[in-house]
């Protein structure tokens, strides 16, 4: 990130280079919905792969899962989402603008617990109403704060035909883990402590989606739930916090752009809760991931509502495991990575934009160029190098359009680490020019040794 980078720069760049598009744009655009373009989906998939590797595969005692999005509607009653998953809203009586009361209170340093009931939050709002101005007209004349449920309703034959209950799109992805906890215990026989990891979609009827990918109505979450013996939570919680912090550093995020925030007002069942925040351009520090010590609340709730015994049996000793949760928003991390790696510098006297993505995250690792487009012998040789590299490098691009300088700029902008040019000398001695993204340095390399230079 360069000092003067703004979020508007990032948003315009993301669109121009095929990373992120506004949802339903040709119909005028849909608020809070975004589509990931050709470069975006590669970056997103690479972030997911890195998360999966670190949180599931590399851990001896973690199990992966991919659960169905639709669930029995009673799941969302047990989880508390039907009754309590809501944002407190108030409307300006002068211009009808709606505000998120908890967020406005936060801005003036008053912290409102997200699980506070409507009356309590309204009392706080009334107390501080004169300090909160309508963002549109500047007035202070608001309706009382009302709870607005965030679950997105849908319909689905089996459940809806029973008449009374709608089905819901998932308000959070992690419920699928609780539902499959027993299946995983019965099929994989894990020993407590163990974890389950999942990446899944979540939908929220955010009343004022804003800040690009930061607050959207449809997003992906990468979650882990770690099941421990009752009261054996503290040490494991500290270890999880440390691991999660390290993962962000492994993405190339600098430590000065990260910070911890401990929750002051805990939900009644939680024993500890922390957020990892990233320092976004323009928006400043805000949450990318929550790490929560949730005691035995989730499994107890699902036992109560489903009537199924979810206790763990360790050689005759029965207990309900406590859960330590990590829940990360992929869109927010995507935005953090893009912000972190977007930079402007000068190379050879020319200003350029360069996306300094680490190898594992770059949508394209290597680009292959024939020096000239209209020379069949260069094309043929370059095609053979391209085909060979594609065999063992995950993402290789072909570019024979425009002069070499322009091609370098294009690849720099999307974070391609190496550009390989095939020229007339290549036809003589089987060497190519490899140009490095970050330094612009060039070296001559034998084709047979290319993998050593441009592989990871």
| Residue 330 or 354 having the CB closest to ligand ATP | 330
Burial of 287 (0-12, 13-18, 19+ CB in 10 A): middle
What CA–CA distance (Å, rounded) separates 406 from 128? 56
Structure tokens at 442: 């060039």
> Which window, 152-160, 216-224, 226-234, 351-359, contacts ligand ATP (CB under 6 A)?
216-224
Among 9, 277, 279, 289, binds ligand ATP (CB under 6 A): 289
112 near ligand ATP, rule: CB under 6 A:
no
Phi–psi pair at 300, nearest 5 degrees: -60, -45
What CA–CA distance (Å, rounded) separates 308 from 301? 11
290 near ligand ATP, rule: CB under 6 A:
yes
67 near ligand ATP, rule: CB under 6 A:
no
DSSP codes joined into one string, 297-360? HHHHHHHHHH-----EEETTEEEPPEEEEEEEEHHHHHHHHHHHHEEEEEETTEEEEEE---TT
Count, residues near ligand ATP per rule CB under 6 A: 16
Q: Give the shortest CB-330-to-ligand ATP separation in angstroms.
A: 8
Among 55, 79, 175, 216, binds ligand ATP (CB under 6 A): 216
| Residue 301 or 433 having the CB closest to ligand ATP | 301
321 near ligand ATP, rule: CB under 6 A:
no
What CA–CA distance (Å, rounded) separates 171 from 369? 47
> Which window, 11-19, 130-138, 215-223, 246-254, contacts ligand ATP (CB under 6 A)?
215-223
Q: Give the shortest CB-290-to-ligand ATP separation in angstroms.
A: 4
Angle at 379 between CA 376 and CA 384, to 5 degrees: 130
Phi–psi pair at 341, nearest 5 degrees: -90, -15
365 near ligand ATP, rule: CB under 6 A:
no
Q: Give the shortest CB-56-to-ligand ATP separation in angstroms.
A: 18
Among 9, 42, 104, 172, binds ligand ATP (CB under 6 A): 172
> Which window, 140-148, 322-330, 406-414, 435-443, contacts ligand ATP (CB under 6 A)?
322-330
> Which window, 247-255, 324-332, 366-374, 446-454, contacts ligand ATP (CB under 6 A)?
324-332
Q: How many CB atoms lie within 10 A of CB 187?
A: 10
H helices of 347-393, in order, are 376-392
Q: Collapsing DSSP states into helix, strand and coil, what is residue 445?
A: strand
DSSP codes joined into one string, 246-310? HHHHHTT--GGGEEEEE-SS--TT-SEEEEEEEEETTTEEEEEEEEEE-TTHHHHHHHHHH----
332 near ligand ATP, rule: CB under 6 A:
yes
What CA–CA distance (Å, rounded) separates 189 from 187? 6
298 near ligand ATP, rule: CB under 6 A:
no
100 near ligand ATP, rule: CB under 6 A:
no
Q: Among residues 391, 367, 385, which one has the least CA distance to residue 426?
A: 385
Q: Give the shortest CB-269-to-ligand ATP separation in angstroms.
A: 14
Query: Pattern of binders to ligand ATP over 259-288, x per CB under 6 A?
Result: ----------------------------xx
219 near ligand ATP, rule: CB under 6 A:
yes
175 near ligand ATP, rule: CB under 6 A:
no
* Cβ–Cβ < 8 Å for 352, 412: yes
179 near ligand ATP, rule: CB under 6 A:
no
205 near ligand ATP, rule: CB under 6 A:
no
What is the contact surface with ligand ATP in residues (CB under 6 A)? 172, 204, 206, 215-216, 219, 221, 287-290, 327-329, 331-332
């Amino acid at each position: 990130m360069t000092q003067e980078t703004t979020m508007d720069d990032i948003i315009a760049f993301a669109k121009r280079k095929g990373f992120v598009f506004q949802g339903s744009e040709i119909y005028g655009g849909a608020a809070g919905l975004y589509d990931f373009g050709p470069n975006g989906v590669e970056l997103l998939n690479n972030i997911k792969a890195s998360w999966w590797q670190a949180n599931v595969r590399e851990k001896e005692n973690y199990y992966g899962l991919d659960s169905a999005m639709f669930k029995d509607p009673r799941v969302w009653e047990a989880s508390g989402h039907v009754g309590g998953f809501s944002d407190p809203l108030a409307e300006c009586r002068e211009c009808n603008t709606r505000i998120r009361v908890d967020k406005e209170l936060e801005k003036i340093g008053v912290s409102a617990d997200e699980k506070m009931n409507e009356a309590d939050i309204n009392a706080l709002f009334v107390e501080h109403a004169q300090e909160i101005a309508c963002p549109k007209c500047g007035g202070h004349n608001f309706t009382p704060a009302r709870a607005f449920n965030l679950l997105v309703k849908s319909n689905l034959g089996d459940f809806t035909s029973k008449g009374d209950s709608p089905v819901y799109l998932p308000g959070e992805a992690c419920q699928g883990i609780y539902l499959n906890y027993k299946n995983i215990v019965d099929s994989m026989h894990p020993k407590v402590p163990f974890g389950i990891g999942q990446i899944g979609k979540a939908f929220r009827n955010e009343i004022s989606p804003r800040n690009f990918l930061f607050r959207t109505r449809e997003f992906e979450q990468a979650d882990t739930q770690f099941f421990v013996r009752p009261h054996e939570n503290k040490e494991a919680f500290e270890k999880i916090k440390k691991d999660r912090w390290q993962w962000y550093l492994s993405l190339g995020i600098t430590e000065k752009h990260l910070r911890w925030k401990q929750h002051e007002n805990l939900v009644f069942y939680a024993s500890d809760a922390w957020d990892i925040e990233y320092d976004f351009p323009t928006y400043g520090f805000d949450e990318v991931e929550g790490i929560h010590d949730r005691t035995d609340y989730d499994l107890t709730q699902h036992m109560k509502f489903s009537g199924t015994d979810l206790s763990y049996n360790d050689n005759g000793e029965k207990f309900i495991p406590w859960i330590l949760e990590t829940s990360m928003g992929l869109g927010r991390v995507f935005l953090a990575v893009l912000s972190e790696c977007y930079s402007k510098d000068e190379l050879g006297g020319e200003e350029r934009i360069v996306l300094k993505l680490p190898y594992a995250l770059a949508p394209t690792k290597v680009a292959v160029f024939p020096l000239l487009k209209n020379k069949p012998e260069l094309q043929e040789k370059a095609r053979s190098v391209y085909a060979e590299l594609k065999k063992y490098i995950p993402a290789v691009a072909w570019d024979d359009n425009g002069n070499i300088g322009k091609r370098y700029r294009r690849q720099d902008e999307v974070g391609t680490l190496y550009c390989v040019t095939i020229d007339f000398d290549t036809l003589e001695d089987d060497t190519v020019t490899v140009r490095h993204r970050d330094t612009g340095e060039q070296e001559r390399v034998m084709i047979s040794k290319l993998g050593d230079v441009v592989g990871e």
